[in-house]
A and B are shown apart, each in its own frame.
Chain A
Amino acid sequence: MEDVSKKVLKEIKEKRVVMTPKWHFAVFKILTFFLLGLLLLLGVFIFSLIYHLIFNFELGGIMGRNFSAQMIIRGLPYFWFLVLGIAIILWVLEFLKTSFGYKIKTGFVVFSLIFITFIFGFGLYSLGTGEILENFMENNFPTYGNIVKTPKSFWLQPEKGLLSGKIVNLNEEIENLTIKDWEEKSWEVNYAGAVILKGVVLKNRKKVKIIGKENGDCCFEAEEIRAWPREKWGNSDEDSD
């Protein structure tokens, strides 16, 4: 039987095989933890954005309407779910490779990660981070609206009974208002008989969202008017004087 030990020792000497220096492993470890930190942060930010999108849809509030279940399903931010899913998978795979990660059950790691990003994501959402990210994406990526159903695009589906925009004219006598939607199209909205929810101020330059029925081109019959959420950052819900 050939002596492998002698062969190995001979090869080490003849080919001057060296031990990889310790700093190599230290750098690799630092990069790994940096990546883990980055992915965790990404997960938290994405969760805050998902909260922002879903809470702005007020999905629970439109149940029972026509097409509501379909709209909810179509309106969910699948793109962000996918990105979040990829970030979570990458994080778990990298974590399990660490010197202590493999000792913990994978299910527990996944659950803990989702729980932490869920909680911290909500925290960031409360601080308005979701809104900042949403605005950043909308302003810097023209195709963003095609991939993700933003609150503005979700609340601008007049054919499905959802309309939103800024009030440009108000006629209280005939209970009619004119709004300009996010695509600068004007709509005549009749709100006689509509429920005006708490917090809504019908005044020029106020942003609102309306649930009702499209009534021909540029006309809308309101059933319910809600206030557009007051933005924590960026533009206020009305132009300043």
Chain B
Amino acid sequence: MLDQKKYENKSDEEIVKMTIENSDYYFYLTKRYEGKLLRYIQRISGVSEEVGHDILQEVFLKVYQNLLSFDFKLKFSSWIYRIARNTAISYWRKNKKDWNNFYLEDNEKLKNSLEAQGNMEKELLRKINAENVKKIMGELKPVHREVLTLKFLEDKNYEEISDIIKKPIGTVATLIFRAKKDFRAVLDKVKIDLE
């Protein structure tokens, strides 16, 4: 098997070019995105790890088949996330499962990110535990849950989110604003339950 460490410093775009010449190099690309995309798929579609793997496999095959359409003006990560998003959404629409999976370890990261933004009171955020975060995220509109996931859990900037969900940057900013407001509204409701 090819040496993974040897290609660690290569950019995604360089590995794409290498893959076009020799499909074996595709392994490095998929290895790089395996973990991130699996978590992302589960976060936005709420599927189990097993189903997540199936979706991920489908995503990687689609990416490979469409590799020659990749526009190098775009970031590869945005492009692969876009394909993952579309595939996960298609699966979720076909199967219409309840959104009930959220990584518990994301709780701290999400809380810290929202706190750093200054939108939520520290006191309030400290009271919510992982289950509450899961409950709050479950009650958000899918589009709000999606942008919060991309911004605060996937650490994407506005331009990347715009390229992933194919909406103008201005719209992305508005969606994030509304998502935080939505989160706050549900958080206030949860606070009432906590009290």
Contact of A22 among B26, B69, B166, B168 (CB under 8 A): B69
Q: Please give me the residue from chain B that is nearest to A28 by CB atom.
A: B69
Contact with B along A187-227 (1 / 0, CB 8 A): 00000000000000000000000000000000000000000
Q: Does B128 contact A (CB under 8 A)?
A: no
Interface residues of B in 53-107 (CB under 8 A from A): 53, 56-57, 60-61, 64-69, 71, 74
Listed A/B pairs (24) with beta-carbon separation below 8 Å: A4-B38, A4-B56, A4-B60, A5-B27, A5-B30, A8-B26, A8-B30, A8-B61, A9-B26, A9-B27, A11-B61, A12-B64, A17-B64, A19-B66, A19-B68, A20-B66, A21-B68, A25-B68, A25-B69, A96-B166, A97-B166, A102-B162, A102-B167, A102-B168
Q: Is the CB of B23 within 8 A of A103?
A: no
A20-B68, A105-B171 known; 19 new pairs, CB 8 Å cut-off, are A5-B34, A8-B57, A8-B60, A9-B23, A9-B24, A9-B27, A9-B30, A11-B57, A18-B65, A19-B64, A20-B69, A22-B69, A25-B69, A96-B166, A97-B166, A99-B71, A99-B74, A103-B162, A103-B168
Q: Does B186 contact A (CB under 8 A)?
A: no
Chain B residues proximal to chain A, CB less than 8 Å: 20, 23-24, 26-27, 30-31, 34, 38, 49, 53, 56-57, 60-61, 64-69, 71, 74, 162, 166-171
Known: A103-B162, A105-B168. A4 touches B66 (CB 8 A): no
Contacts of B27 in A (CB 8 A): 5-6, 9
Q: Nearest chain A CB to B100's CB is how many angstroms away?
A: 21
Chain A residues proximal to chain B, CB less than 8 Å: 1-2, 4-9, 11-13, 17-22, 25, 96-97, 99, 102-106
Q: Nearest chain B CB to A24's CB is how many angstroms away?
A: 8
Chief secondary structure at chain B's binding surface: helix
Q: Is the CB of B60 within 8 A of A105?
A: no
Contact of B57 among A7, A96, A103 (CB under 8 A): A7
Q: What number of A-B contacts does a CB cutoff of 8 Å give?
A: 69
Contacts of A25 in B (CB 8 A): 68-69
Q: Nearest chain A CB to B59's CB is how many angstroms away?
A: 9
Q: Nearest chain A CB to B159's CB is how many angstroms away?
A: 9
Q: Is the CB of B30 within 8 A of A4?
A: yes
A105–B20 CA distance with the chains assembled, in angstroms? 34
